[in-house]
Chain A
Amino acid sequence: MNNKNIISVLGVCGSGTVSSTLLADRVKEILEERKIRVKATGVMPQMVKDYVDRGGIDIVVTTSPIPGEIKVPVIKGVPLLTGIGEDECIQEIVDAVSKILEEKEKAA
């Protein structure tokens, strides 16, 4: 497996420390259960645009609104904290990631 098959996830919350890391870890778990390799990082909302514009980020999962135009899928991650609507949220992430992997496959 090479880098192209690794999904890079950005977890985002207000202070960019605790909840964002929690989200990033949770998404990692969800995807790894589905045999998808993941690299996950937690950041603050203001940092997201720069991170994404620099390239290499595939998907953003957030508990906070994010300023600027983000070029990759942004998923609202609060259900991963509350458990309410969690299955739908997981499905949304899995669907988005499947699409990303297909596109990576095509580009390869």
Chain B
Amino acid sequence: MEEITISSDLIKLNLDAEDKDQAVTFLSDKLYNQGYVKKEFSQKVLDREREYPTGLPTKIPLAICHTQADYVNKNAVAVAVLKKPIEFQEMGNPGSSVLVEILFVLALGNPKTQVLWLRKFVKIFQNEKALLEIKNCESEKQLEKRLRELLTE
């Protein structure tokens, strides 16, 4: 399976953003500035989020923003725990929204192998305890470590 970068440089705790565009752009910029994605990535993620929202009504609501593999140089995941919940539209349920507390921006290349990664993420999303742990991490380093453990379990 292809590697995916999980790094405290791509994690932000207590992100104080006004709306979803600001929050998503913050993480996309981190990915771009560190060379994981192409310049268009940020806009493409926002466009896609408008057309196909990714807010999930999990126990701790979250969003998994992403876009086509074309705009990705190298697999990585950026994560933000939001200072105050932000409204995202709900996946598959037009007109409904969720108040997101944890935001994931996934930069995934090759779609075929990435299904395996998404599968691992879905396991985390279904695990309320894991989501609480992520939300309550006290440092970016701690979240990096916990996320790595959760993804390799």
A84 within 8 A of B: yes
Q: Which chain A residues lie closer than 8 Å to B33 at the CB level?
A: none
Docked CA distance A84–B118 (Å): 17
Q: Is there an interface contact between B115 and A64, defined as CB atoms closer than 8 Å?
A: no
Q: Which chain B residues lie closer than 8 Å to A63 at the CB level?
A: 52, 91-92
Number of interface residues of B (CB under 8 A): 26
B93 within 8 A of A: yes
| Mask of B104-124 contacts with A, CB within 8 angstroms, 1/0 | 000010011011001100100
Q: Is there an interface contact between A83 and B115, defined as CB atoms closer than 8 Å?
A: no
Docked CA distance A62–B93 (Å): 11
Closest 4 CB pairs of A and B: A14-B52, A83-B126, A17-B111, A63-B92
**Please, could you name 17 A-B residue pairs with CB atoms under 8 Å apart, sorted by A?**
A13-B52, A14-B51, A15-B66, A15-B68, A18-B66, A19-B118, A21-B115, A22-B118, A22-B122, A45-B52, A65-B94, A76-B92, A77-B92, A82-B125, A83-B126, A84-B58, A86-B126
